[in-house]
Amino acid sequence: MNQNELSNWMAEGFVTLPQVLIKHYTKLNIDETEFMLILQIESFRTNGNSFPSINELTERMGASFEQVTRLLESLIRKGILAILSKENKLEGEIYSLEPLYQKLIALLSNHELAEQKKVESDAEIHIYRVFESEFGRPLSPLEAEMLSGWLDQDHFAPELIREALKEAVISQKLNFRYIDRILLNWKKEKVTTVEEARQVAEDFHTNGRTGRVTSRKEIEKSKDSIPLYNWLENRKG
């Protein structure tokens, strides 16, 4: 191969497909032969031919007329490929890969949603373990139901529930009713983030709404499973 041949190849241009399509085309129920046909259709389009004939595709694919016809029918039936009329109907028709890209977008969106649900599920499982660790025993059915209600009915974020647990430990009132009151108070205060909850809690302890300020020694006596002392130090910063 000489330099002129390489230059000629470069001048013909490149066929570009998204990396995500190459990674996930099998998840769209596209086999390798169908994917090669898609590649050939895109190659023709890149070179100005948006509706190559079956004979042209047959020559590129090294397949029979009937095989290419069946492949095209399969892609259309699967909603991967569409045949559209050009804006000027006198100019004929074009192959469109828009349905393919719409399916790809839907696939990736569903994948992201599934990943998000998994993260949320893992967080919920973790909060149950945190409570059992802090209480030093398995949760009773009533306690588990209450915790489930905070998550599923009241829609408190797991990290906010964990923050309420910390407050209960600080106050040395480690019981579900007290934690429930904390969460209800935060709901009335329109608290939605851990940062907001910490600010409300800091105001509570600093202003001594109960007539006393939680001492550092009391905090240090809290259980080690939740780093309460360091947490309060961070809040003061």
Per-domain residue ranges for the chain?
Answer: 3-96, 119-236
127 or 207, greater pLDDT: 127
Angstrom distance (rounded) from CA 70 to CA 78: 12
With 80 as the cut, is the pLDDT of residue 227 above it? no
pLDDT at residue number 81: 95
Residue pair 35/25 in contact by the 8 Å Cβ criterion: yes
The region, left, alpha or beta by phi > 0 then psi within -120 to 50, assigned to residue 169 is: alpha
Q: What percent of the chain has pLDDT over 70?
A: 80
The arithmetic mean of pLDDT across residues 51-64, rounded, is 95
Whether residue 82 contacts residue 99, with contact meaning beta carbons closer than 8 Å, is answered with: yes
Topology agreement, domain 3-96 and domain 119-236: yes
CATH topology of domain 3-96: Arc Repressor Mutant, subunit A (1.10.10)
Instruction: Give the fold, CATH level 3, of 119-236.
Output: Arc Repressor Mutant, subunit A (1.10.10)
Type of residue at 217: K
Question: pTM for the whole thing?
Answer: 0.51
- Higher-confidence residue of 205 and 80: namely 80
List Cα–Cα distances, 88 to 47, 52, 53, 93, 162, in angstroms: 20, 18, 19, 9, 63
The burial of 60, by beta-carbon neighbours within 10 Å (0-12 exposed, 13-18 middle, 19 or more buried), is given as middle
Is residue 106 within 8 Å of 80, Cβ to Cβ? no
**Partners of residue 94 on adjacent β-strands:** 84
Residue with tokens 């259980």: 223
Q: How confident is the model at residue 207 (pLDDT cuts 50, 70, 90)?
A: low
Lowest mean pLDDT among 16-25, 88-97, 149-158: 88-97
pLDDT of residue 77: 94
Q: What are residue 188's phi and psi, to 5 degrees?
A: -65, -35
- As a whole number, mean pLDDT of residues 64-73 equals 96
